[in-house]
């Protein structure tokens, strides 16, 4: 049961008495609380309390609850003004709702006694002040003096041991001094208001989470429709793809773009982070890359241009790795640019080789010039394995990464397998290592020279 106590500051030796500030700590049955033993008065107090509970509990819409809290506070206390202050720090409170006794909404830049709010926060209970002189007003703060307030009460809104804010009422009328009973009733009501406020906030949070989840599902659906198709039947190449996006949107992106001379460009990239933002950036880069590949032929020039564009238009800290290769099945050759991405793996029989990167990640240095690799000679039967870091960094339940060594050993055992069979085997190994699930975005592309 909530308890109250009352305390009174010592009056100074000279001058006007200090403002009277009380806070309660007695049981509801005590004569100092709103239950006084007078049947009619007690019945009215209980009815006010019950009506208030009903009024603020009848709706869980946050805005409606906030408005009713202020309405009921004015009605119960007969104050001239009520403020609903949200937050737990008296120095950074937000005036969420302000209203006068006639039901008029007031501007958010209202003055109020921070001194009284601090006392309410320290004691975690309702406090009041009756002001009898300008000196007393100044002791409670410049705002009390400026507004020529006569009576002020403030109660914290506490739910689950957390201060959500404060309900604050005041009056300039000389005839309206908040009594001990007013304070006790105000404190009891504030406890109920806090519960209603917390419920409304939780309800709003659940609605926002539901809306966010729906937005994520829509974004994921759009992302799936934007993913390019594997160009099966491309002369001289056997192609296969595996793509798994982390929940909330994937920062991985890939593409296949035909080039002049019967070549095929294969691109795979990864943006830092996950979620919708990473997915949007990933697809923006993919779209820009496709445009460049359709217009230009030099991979070095293409990636250098893209990096310059990202360095000036993308927020600092959003880096992107990228590997783009031009595979020529007629000339049996390969050239690539690797901007800070996991290495392209070249497999010939049981010999597995990781090809070096040729530059740093995109979006760091706008002046970086990305060089293209030397020509890599290919043979029929060779396998090119493109992947994102979700492969190497796939975690076991014991938090052990799959790693490049395991990957290379596995690829060495798959000589002669089709591109699809290769990815089936790698996926199975990763799932076995990770306990059946992938924590990160994961992209794998296998290109077999046939």
Which one, of 2, 213, 227, 234, lies nearest residue 126 by Cα? Answer: 2
Domain boundaries, the chain: 20-206, 227-449
Can you tell me the distance from the alpha carbon of 33 to that of 267, in angstroms, rounded to the nearest whole number?
Answer: 75
Mean pLDDT of 34-38: 57
Residue 182 pLDDT > 60: yes
CA distances from 7 to 31, 128, 180 (A): 15, 10, 11
Q: Indicate the fold that domain 20-206 takes in CATH.
A: Beta-Lactamase (3.30.450)
Tokens encoding 233? 């039947």
Tokens encoding 315? 């927020």
pTM exceeds cut of 0.75 = no
Mean pLDDT of 387-409: 93
For residues 188, 195, 69, 26, the Cα torsion angle rounded to the nearest 10 degrees is 10
Which one, of 341, 343, 381, 377, lies nearest residue 360 by Cα? Answer: 341
Tokens encoding 167? 């309900």
Task: Return the CATH number of 227-449, one of 3.40.50.300, 1.10.150.120, 3.60.40.10, 3.30.390.50.
Answer: 3.60.40.10
pLDDT of 351: 96
Report which of residues 76 and 225 the model is more confident about: 76
Report which of residues 71 and 326 the model is more confident about: 326
pLDDT of 48: 62
Tokens encoding 310? 């990202």
Evaluate the CA torsion angle 282, 284, 288, 293 in order and state its sign.
Answer: positive
Residues sharing a CB contact under 8 Å with residue 326, sequence separation 6 or more, in sequence order: 259, 263, 264, 265, 299, 334, 335, 336
* Residue with the two structure tokens 């009848």: 58
Mean pLDDT of 111-122: 84
Mean pLDDT of 435-445: 85
Residue 343 CB: number of other CB atoms within 10 A? 17
Residue 219 pLDDT > 80: no
pLDDT of 257: 92
Mean pLDDT of 36-50: 61
Residue 144 pLDDT > 80: no
The overall average pLDDT reported for the chain is 79
With beta carbons less than 8 A apart as the criterion, state whether 252 and 388 touch: yes
pLDDT in tens, 326-372: 999 999 999 999 999 999 999 999 999 999 999 999 888 889 999 99
pLDDT of 10: 37
pLDDT of 140: 55
Evaluate the CA torsion angle 16, 18, 19, 25 in order and state its sign.
Answer: negative
Residue 449 pLDDT > 90: yes
Distance from chain centroid for Cα 120 = 32
């Amino acid at each position: 049961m909530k308890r109250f106590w009352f305390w009174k500051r010592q009056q100074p030796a000279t001058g006007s008495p200090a403002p009277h500030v009380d806070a309660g700590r007695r049981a509801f049955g005590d004569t100092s609380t709103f239950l006084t033993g007078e049947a009619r008065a007690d019945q009215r107090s209980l009815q006010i309390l019950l009506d208030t509970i009903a009024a603020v509990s009848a709706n869980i819409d946050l805005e409606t609850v906030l408005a009713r809290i202020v309405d009921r506070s004015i009605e119960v206390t007969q104050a001239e003004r009520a403020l609903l202050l949200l937050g737990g720090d008296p120095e950074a409170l937000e005036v969420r709702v302000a209203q006068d006794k006639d039901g008029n909404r007031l501007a958010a830049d209202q003055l109020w006694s921070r001194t009284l709010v601090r006392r309410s926060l320290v004691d975690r209970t309702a406090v009041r002040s009756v002001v009898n002189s300008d000196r007393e007003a100044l002791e409670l703060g410049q705002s009390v003096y400026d507004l020529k307030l006569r009576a002020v009460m403030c109660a914290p809104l506490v739910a689950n041991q957390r201060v959500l804010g404060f309900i604050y009422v005041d009056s300039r009328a000389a005839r309206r001094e908040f009594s001990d009973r007013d304070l006790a009733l105000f404190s009891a009501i504030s406890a109920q208001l806090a519960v209603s406020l917390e419920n409304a906030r939780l309800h709003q949070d659940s609605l926002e989470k539901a809306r966010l989840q729906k937005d994520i599902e829509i974004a994921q659906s759009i992302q799936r429709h934007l993913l390019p198709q594997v160009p099966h039947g491309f002369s001289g190449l056997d192609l296969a793809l595996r793509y798994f996006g982390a929940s909330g949107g994937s920062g991985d992106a890939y593409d296949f773009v035909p080039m002049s001379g019967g070549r095929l460009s294969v691109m795979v990239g990864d943006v830092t982070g996950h979620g919708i933002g990473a997915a949007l950036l990933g697809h923006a880069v993919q779209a820009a890359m496709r445009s460049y590949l359709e217009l230009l032929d030099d991979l070095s020039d293409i990636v250098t241009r893209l990096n310059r564009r990202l360095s000036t238009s993308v927020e600092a800290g959003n880096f992107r790795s990228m590997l783009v290769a031009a595979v020529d099945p007629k000339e049996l050759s390969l050239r690539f640019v690797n901007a800070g991405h996991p290495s392209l793996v070249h497999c010939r029989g049981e010999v597995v080789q990781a090809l070096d990167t040729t530059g740093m990640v995109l979006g760091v240095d706008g002046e970086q010039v990305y060089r293209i690799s030397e020509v890599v000679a290919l043979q029929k039967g060779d396998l090119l394995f493109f992947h994102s870091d979700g492969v190497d960094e796939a975690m076991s339940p014991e938090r052990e990464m799959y790693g490049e060594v395991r990957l290379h050993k596995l690829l060495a055992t798959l000589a002669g397998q089709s591109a699809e069979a290769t990815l089936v085997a790698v996926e199975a190994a990763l799932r076995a290592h990770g306990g059946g699930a992938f924590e990160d975005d994961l992209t794998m592309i296998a290109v077999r020279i046939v």
